[in-house]
Amino acid sequence: MAFSSYKTIAEVIKEFQVIYTEANFIGEAEFNVSDYFREDLEFTMREGAVDCSEFAICENLIFPVLKQVWKLYSSKFILWSHYSLNYDEKLSGFPEYILAKRSPLGKVVFDKPYFILVEAKQDNFETGWAQCLAEMIAAQKLKGELSIMIFGIVSNGVTWQFGKLEAEVFTKNITYYSIQELDKLFPAVNYVFKQCELQLNNLVAA
């Protein structure tokens, strides 16, 4: 059963016996957004057909934001685009983006995932979260460590929503973020990257 088969978050909750909660867990992780990025994004949004397709949204709005933050963590993580994530017949498919540990074997080898981003296709965040949570569960099972948090982001390019899965508890962040407010969005995305890095460092130290 592909991730895209799940249409509601309640369906995934019941299927995998996950507990659903809501809270504001996103902390502050300061990030300096360059003037060049601001101007380039403004140009793209003003002149480009940024939302004419699902691929356009990913390429023009979502990936540029992720890439800016990923640059700070690229020595430890690889940001995979539309890469196959398969656990079993119920949990398989192609998330838009996966942040995974950089393999000691090189950048072409997929290692353990830490967060998933799913596009809210046609602005349908309910289905977006159903697929994202299913993918987060797959990532958790692939890691084999229930104590590790898996983070999730669902975005239509403009609105960004955040969640985390820790053991059997899924928490959806109450506050949403917007690409129209980069000085709030980037610290939120950076917070997720930083938490992934902290967990990776803790595993290495252990």
First-to-last alpha carbon distance for the chain, in angstroms, is 36
The answer to whether residues 24 and 173 touch, using CB atoms and an 8 Å cutoff, is yes
Domain hosting residue 135, numbered range: 3-24+33-205
Instruction: Please give the Cα distance from 100 to 73 (Å, whole number).
Output: 11
Q: How many domains does the chain have?
A: 1
Instruction: Please give the Cα distance from 31 to 181 (Å, whole number).
Output: 13
How confident is the model over 23-33, as a mean pLDDT?
A: 94
Kindly report the CATH number assigned to the domain that includes residue 91: 3.90.1570
How would you classify the pairing of strands 113-119 and 97-101? antiparallel
The C-alpha angle 202, 94, 56, rounded to 5 degrees, equals 105
Give the pTM.
0.94
- Chain segment 101-153, per-residue pLDDT in tens: 999 999 999 998 999 999 999 999 999 999 999 999 999 988 776 678 999 99
How confident is the model over 192-206, as a mean pLDDT?
A: 86
- Chain segment 55-111, per-residue pLDDT in tens: 999 999 999 999 999 999 999 999 999 998 888 888 888 999 999 999 999 999 999
